[in-house]
């Protein structure tokens, strides 16, 4: 008797968002641990790193919530665009600051404000997506 495992019904975009959120969460913990155990940086860099990691963690959770909303309510272009902007915001803001402080990579420093803008637009698009959606929310039972 051969048992087959069911194939994932998660759309590729949601799979990407969920995977990125998990890796982003992992990195936020790793960077926090690195900073807490012997990283010697200037106080202003330590504060910037703490903010970057906190915002990264927060937006990883937002991406997980967005993924769950997509599974419950179905496909929505605005929600997908919001997810892409959450990913872009994390790369341009949090990962950018972490690379600068931990590895001295300065090339992307001017992109950090664009990351924050991407996050703000993501939140707005997600709200519009859900408020305009005609699909009823299904219970998670």
- Per-10-residue mean pLDDT of the chain, 141 residues long, equals 63 96 97 85 90 97 96 93 98 95 90 97 97 68 45
State the Cα–Cα distance between residues 141 and 61, nearest whole angstrom. 21
Evaluate whether residue 140 is within a structural domain: no
Number of structural domains found in the chain = 1
User: Residue 74's domain spans which residues?
Assistant: 12-35+43-131
Let me know: does 111 contact 58? Beta carbons within 8 Å: no
Residue 128: predicted pLDDT: 97
Evaluate whether residue 3 is within a structural domain: no
Residue 141: predicted pLDDT: 45
Residue 39: predicted pLDDT: 80
Evaluate whether residue 98 is within a structural domain: yes
- Tell me, yes or no, if the pTM score tops 0.75: yes
């Amino acid at each position: 008797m051969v048992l087959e495992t069911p194939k994932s019904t998660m759309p590729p975009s949601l799979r990407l968002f969920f995977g990125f959120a998990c890796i982003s969460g992992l990195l936020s913990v790793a960077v926090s641990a690195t900073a807490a155990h012997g990283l010697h940086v200037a106080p202003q860099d330590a504060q910037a790193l703490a903010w970057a990691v906190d915002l990264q963690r927060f937006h990883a959770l937002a991406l997980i919530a967005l993924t769950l909303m997509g599974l419950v309510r179905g496909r929505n272009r605005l929600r997908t665009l919001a997810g892409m902007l959450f990913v872009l915001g994390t790369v341009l803001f949090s990962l950018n600051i972490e690379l600068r402080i931990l590895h001295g990579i300065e090339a992307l420093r001017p992109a950090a404000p664009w990351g924050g803008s991407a996050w703000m637009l993501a939140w707005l698009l997600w709200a519009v997506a859900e408020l305009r959606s005609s699909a009823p929310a299904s219970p998670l039972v």
